[in-house]
Amino acid sequence: MKPMKSVLFALIINIIVKNASAEGNGKNIDIEELAKRVLGLEHDNTILKQQVANLAEKDEKLNNEMELLRTENVILKNQCEIVKKDVFDKVQSLEKDVEILKFAQMPYTTDDKNGEYVNGTENMTSPAAMNGNTGRHIRQLSQRQVAFYATITVHDIQHVGSNQAIKFDSILTNVGTAYNQHSGYFTAPVPGIYVIHTTIAGWGAQSSDKHNYLDICVNSVKQAALYGVPFQQESQTLIVYLNAGDVVSVKNAIVDEAILGSHYSSFAGFLLYETETEPSLGK
């Protein structure tokens, strides 16, 4: 580098001398003036070199910043892809939830082939179909509403016979008209799980132990029993599967009993949920 600077310095001196000679028309050249000019040029050259170095440093910084921006851009793109996938999955999950909620609001049907509960609406995909269970024969369940409540209005019923059905003559509720106050029978209109309840107030007891005995019967077969003393109320609740047409009644067990009326004795029940076939034990 030093030989190159010397050559450059010599060229600059030569140019200055020639210019000075031309300007001075042959006059003597002032060596001190030339030296000042050279120093000034060297100073300007130093400043320019510093400016170039500064620009190079700034360029390097800009390149580094650009690289950082490229890296951040890649990271942001990856994060956007993750967010997009997450949103897509959530939207799909919400759509399935909405589909299931819509299905749940529809009447249920039963798949005769697989015994699965599916939805009979043609434009709706059922949960069973989502799991790959599809059937060709669909039966519509009516989901009927059934409920009744009746009491005895007379003051008392005397000399009730053995196995005689008690007639609760005053109907307060009879949704589905399944209870008959003239016979005291409740007849299940659809197969399903029913809740049956009765409260009996004893009036007189003819049994040897002076207690009242009554039964809740299904098709005349005892399913639950009541045991009480006169002038007190006894209650019993039965949760039972009934086929359509099964008859439920409250029957006296001991001959010549008496039952208090005046709304102290009642008979009630309702359909808990409808089924197509009798549920298996343990389910």
Pair (46, 160) in one structural domain: no
Among 236, 247, 196, which Cα is nearest to 214's?
A: 236
176 CB-near residues (< 8 Å, 6+ apart): 144, 145, 146, 147, 148, 189, 271
Pair (62, 46) in one structural domain: yes
Residue 99: inside a domain, yes or no?
no
Report pTM: 0.50
Residue 116: inside a domain, yes or no?
yes
Domain residues for the domain of 132 are 106-140
Give the tokens for residue 99: 């589909």
The pairing of beta strand 247-252 with beta strand 257-260: unpaired
Among 226, 234, 155, 224, which Cα is nearest to 196's?
A: 224
- Residue numbers in the chain where pLDDT is lower than 50: 2, 25-27, 108-140, 283
Pair (132, 240) in one structural domain: no
**Largest separation between any pair of C-alpha atoms in the chain:** 164
Pair (225, 154) in one structural domain: yes
Pair (181, 131) in one structural domain: no
Residue 85: inside a domain, yes or no?
no
Residue 94: inside a domain, yes or no?
no
At 241 the pLDDT is 96
Number of structural domains the chain divides into: 3
Pair (167, 270) in one structural domain: yes
Pair (35, 56) in one structural domain: yes
SS3 211: coil
At 129 the pLDDT is 45
pLDDT tens per residue across span 87-111: 888 888 888 878 777 665 555 444 4
pLDDT tens per residue across span 52-73: 888 888 988 899 899 889 888 8
Among 267, 259, 214, which Cα is nearest to 232's?
A: 259
| Kind plus residue range of the DSSP H or E element containing 259 | strand 257-260
**CA angle, 94 then 99 then 102, to 5°:** 125
| Whole-angstrom distance, CA of residue 107 vs CA of residue 243 | 20
Residue 83: inside a domain, yes or no?
no
Pair (133, 200) in one structural domain: no
At 9 the pLDDT is 62
Residue 56: inside a domain, yes or no?
yes
